[in-house]
Structure 1
């Protein structure tokens, strides 16, 4: 049995308050399990679950058990959607910690930092330099670089990672 769509705003707010009070703990417990104990993530997903319930309150069954199953299904699907998003998103690669590079007004420090970077880049193979330039200076995505070089995206990502590691090592040595 579904709630009538012409229910007053006060009745909807009361229903939503009751749904939250009755089911939020169970939903949070499930989300904590599905997020491997990441409380902040689980709480964010609980909030999104309740927001979806609010937006689709007329779809939430009136019976308590059915309402709980509905909320748990929405929560589980949110976790699955989040996992799928992370799988499709390219891995974040962090460049060298550049906080040690001096400000613009420090010409001696800038010259030393530029010299160290040139030396570190000189230690890289031409292929590594070219790959880092394509990804970080030109701003192409790994997929674009893979298309240009005729290799798999995974190869571009791993070679970029190894080139960054070599650059870091070169900077530490310089």
Structure 2
């Protein structure tokens, strides 16, 4: 891996690794696949780090590269994603059984969405991107983002009625 500004790249990764890992987990539904996705994406980004930083928006570039790498790997394998029974870890030591169940239901519901719909939901509601920023990250139009969001929320409502309150909150904030 050739990185012109290795220190700058290391700082970028150290500051954003947690967020990138969460995005990758939400996209893949699996911790190991998420780790692989982040690693492969960062290796590819490192090769072009000088160009990425010159463009002035490394966060957007890496987020877009992460999404595109996910779609590419999904298409290449043409396999169904497998979910696990383990909810994501969370620090704090308090009883989070209701939250854990909700996370499992949400993860399973996200896994049943088409990859594009899943990406739109992750970017819009977990990354809190605007419709325009989501469209830019996905390389599509704002109208496509709106349409995919509408269809994804309808699908979530149908497959996971127990998430109705969460979906209503998402629609209100949109």
What TM-score results when the alignment is normalised by the length of structure 2?
A: 0.40
What TM-score results when the alignment is normalised by the length of structure 1?
A: 0.40
